[in-house]
Amino acid sequence: MSGSTLRYGDKVVIVTGGSKGIGRGIVKVFVENGAKVVFCARGVAAGQALEAELNRAGPGSCKFVPCDISKEEDIKGAIIAMTKAMAVDESRYQVRVNCISPGNVMTPLWEELAGQTADTLATIKEGENAQLLGRMGTEAESGLAALYLAADATFCTGIDLLLSGGAELNYGYKSQVP
């Protein structure tokens, strides 16, 4: 497909934490849909390997930049509020600002954390059963959700897209007092 028929042809995308997991899924989907993606992470080897792999595949392109975005935990709770505030501020320029709240997505981080528990497989099974859909999300589904917001959700701004398999509708045992 040419740049004009791809869903995100020749547009520029910036992804922080893009060499693995959810970020990798987003980088990959946008390159597959024609975007020019700049992504960062701390680990140079993984970043450069992904850059080479995706540039070989195209049709978009990507550029890896080593970068450490530290203290992420200090800003996570503020992302939805920041998204809404930026949506208000940028609307006069016709710029939309949206965010995604992921539930359990199978990524290297999830594998690593499960591997630190006494029973890795049981922990992963528990993670899968936390969703109504009985499985975890994938990196590719994370990418598609981001592409949807960027390319198709043209009347959405200031929203938080739950990427969670319905987990919040039925988290574990729910007491029904009395």
Ligand X SMILES: NC(=O)c1ccc[n+]([C@@H]2O[C@H](COP(=O)([O-])OP(=O)(O)OC[C@H]3O[C@@H](n4cnc5c(N)ncnc54)[C@H](OP(=O)(O)O)[C@@H]3O)[C@@H](O)[C@H]2O)c1
Sites of contact with ligand X (CB under 6 A): 16-23, 40-43, 46, 67-70, 72, 102-105, 107-110
Q: Where are the alpha helices (DSSP H) in 33-138?
A: 44-57, 72-75, 79-90, 108-115, 120-129
- Residue closer to ligand X by CB (options 6, 30) is 30
Longest dimension (CA), the chain: 62
Decide: 50 and 27 in contact? Cβ < 8 Å: yes
- Residue closer to ligand X by CB (options 82, 109) is 109
- Residue closer to ligand X by CB (options 35, 130) is 130
CB of 22 to ligand X, least distance (A): 4
- Residue closer to ligand X by CB (options 60, 102) is 102
Secondary structure of the chain: what % helix, strand, coil (to 5)?
45, 15, 40
CB of 73 to ligand X, least distance (A): 8
Q: Strand 12-16 vs strand 36-41: parallel, antiparallel, or unpaired? A: parallel
CB of 44 to ligand X, least distance (A): 8
Integer angstrom CA distances of residue 19 from 50, 92, 161: 7, 34, 22
CB of 91 to ligand X, least distance (A): 27
Rounded CA-CA distance 44/60 in Å is 21
